[in-house]
Structure 1
Amino acid sequence: MIRVMIVEDEEQIRIILKKMIEKTSDCEVVSSCGNFATAISDFLRLRPNVVFMDIDLSGESGLECAKAITEVDPKVKIVFATAHSEYMANAFEIYAFDYLVKPFDLERIGKTLGRIKSMMEEQSSVPQGTKNESARNDAAYEKLIIRGKEEINLVDTRDIIMVERTDGMCRIVTKDEIFLTTASLSSIQEKLDPEIFMRCHKSYIVRTQAVKKLETYGRWTYTVKLKDTNETALMTSEKYNEMKQKLAL
């Protein structure tokens, strides 16, 4: 059972959210409150797995409330549910699991809770001594914030196939979309899980499990064919040997 807490200063919104959340199987709202102090008190007492948090709590900061909660328990999943889309980037800097903008959509909430349920089931199979560290790492690497001139994109790192540095930009390739950013390849690499992604060339990062074929390209380099995209990357022979060791090929 997923235990959920709602922190929202408008009572009617709390009621609506509670009904929507409890339409998802195996989800129970254990607390519904409207201010910073009660949120902290209820969290310490009830220890929910998920917190749906508004940004503005009648003048108090939902961001600061979320920070305080995650300091108590880094494993908790924070889902910001708010009318304030302009705080999205700030929210993900504290490893928010998701950011929902009013008016809320039942299907969207269901998908968010479904992903959380899947993650919790996966983590339950991790040996006891490594669970806390695993949870912190999952949160830290989950979202990549891509800032554009007029928009901010939040890319799920699990969707990224490769990243290419070209013409002063980085191209972030997913199965369905390509995102462009002026951020450096090194700064993007820092935000990706090194157990999943490899800097295979000075201009490329690839998801290791997405590699399906290597073709010789010069004496010390390979062309990398990838799953779910027609894009290709380059890999040095040194990185090829490193990948072989990692995958025990």
Structure 2
Amino acid sequence: MTLKVLIADDDSGMRLVLKKVIKKIDGFQLVGEADNGLEALEMAESENPDVVFLDIEMPKLSGIECAKSIIDINPKTAIIFATAHEEYMGDAFELYAFDYLTKPFRLDRVYKTLRRIKDVNNKSNEEDNISEALDKLIIKNKDGISFVDTKDIILIQREDRSTVVYTKDQGYVTSESLTDLEEKLEGTTFLRSHKSYIINLSKIKRVTSYGRWTYSIEFTDTHRDALITHKKYKEIEKIFITGE
């Protein structure tokens, strides 16, 4: 698997150095470079990189603010700050930055960081394979991982810049995006009903009108509800009525 990399730094010399490092390590592909924070955010939205190198003091949008927006788009993005300013380190790690490189840094430090990212990604793929074999969903957070039986999951909801997986008795908070979890649950009884929800079709109790183009879903075993778009409602209507 090739990991996509974005570089954002207003120093063209630093961008050149990082580009050379990336080219020397197999498994990484440069998909864009930006000289300001706003351009970096636009590229992150269009390219969905796996790794982003960010300077902190950049024109138009700081690296910290840029990182906050990128993580909101895809919480699994590995953010690597590369900056001459040590004083922002606390802010960076509050965002769960993968690494913080203080300029001038040794190139072998960058190689080491990228290899760690590869190892983490490979381990993640192995865990996903284990999860499929056990019919469990692996939920990752800052404290570790939880193995949850997919049959016990009622809904998955995006809230407060995090994702929460709800069972009858518990809510599991993770930094993984809904899209990531949707891919893991592909081919099961789960459906992405709305940009903010994934639902377990086997747990639906009732569907009621919520607005002109939206419906509200009630579930068994929980007081929580979810939204479903008109298009997705028609899909489940077809499933339950015709069996297709």
| Pairwise TM-score range, normalised by the shorter structure | 0.5 to 0.7
Deviates more, 1:121-130 or 1:3-12: 121-130
| Structure-2 residue corresponding to 1:102 | 103
Counterpart residue type for residue 25 of structure 1: D
The residue matched to 2:17 in structure 1 has which SS?
helix
| Structure-1 residue corresponding to 2:14 | 13
CA distance in 1, matches of 2:34, 2:49: 13
Q: CA deviation at 1:59?
A: 6.0
Q: CA deviation at 1:27?
A: 1.5
CA distance in 2, matches of 1:141, 1:54: 28
State the number of aligned residues. Answer: 137
Q: CA deviation at 1:40?
A: 1.5
Provide the identity percentage. 42
Aligned residue runs from structure 1 range 28-67, under 5 A: 28-58=29-59, 60-67=61-68
Counterpart residue type for residue 74 of structure 1: P
The residue matched to 1:124 in structure 2 has which SS?
helix
The residue matched to 1:79 in structure 2 has which SS?
strand
The residue matched to 1:3 in structure 2 has which SS?
strand
In structure 2, runs of 5+ residues without a counterpart are 145-244
Aligned residue runs from structure 1 range 186-201, under 5 A: none
CA distance in 1, matches of 2:106, 2:41: 27
Counterpart residue type for residue 107 of structure 2: L
Counterpart residue type for residue 53 of structure 2: F
Q: C-alpha offsets along residues 84-119 of structure 1, whole Å, 9 cap, x if unaligned?
A: 111111100110000001113221111101110011
CA distance in 1, matches of 2:59, 2:105: 20
C-alpha contact 2:36 2:60 (8 A) present in aligned 1: no
| Structure-2 residue corresponding to 1:219 | none
The residue matched to 2:24 in structure 1 has which SS?
coil
Cα–Cα, structure 1 residues 141 and 64, in superposed 2: closer, same or farther, change >3 Å? Answer: farther
Counterpart residue type for residue 20 of structure 1: V
Counterpart residue type for residue 104 of structure 1: F
CA distance in 2, matches of 1:130, 1:94: 25
Cα–Cα, structure 1 residues 4 and 76, in superposed 2: closer, same or farther, change >3 Å? Answer: same
| Structure-2 residue corresponding to 1:123 | 124
The residue matched to 2:117 in structure 1 has which SS?
helix
Alpha-carbon RMSD: 1.8
CA distance in 2, matches of 1:21, 1:105: 14
Q: CA deviation at 1:141?
A: 4.7
Cα–Cα, structure 1 residues 84 and 59, in superposed 2: closer, same or farther, change >3 Å? Answer: farther
Cα–Cα, structure 1 residues 110 and 60, in superposed 2: closer, same or farther, change >3 Å? Answer: same
Cα–Cα, structure 1 residues 105 and 21, in superposed 2: closer, same or farther, change >3 Å? Answer: farther
Aligned residue runs from structure 1 range 52-91, under 5 A: 52-58=53-59, 60-91=61-92
CA distance in 2, matches of 1:141, 1:19: 35
Q: Structure 1 segments of 4 or more deviating over 3 A?
A: 127-131
| Structure-2 residue corresponding to 1:113 | 114
CA distance in 1, matches of 2:12, 2:76: 27
CA distance in 2, matches of 1:96, 1:44: 18
Deviates more, 1:15-24 or 1:115-124: 15-24
Counterpart residue type for residue 103 of structure 1: P
Q: CA deviation at 1:58?
A: 2.7
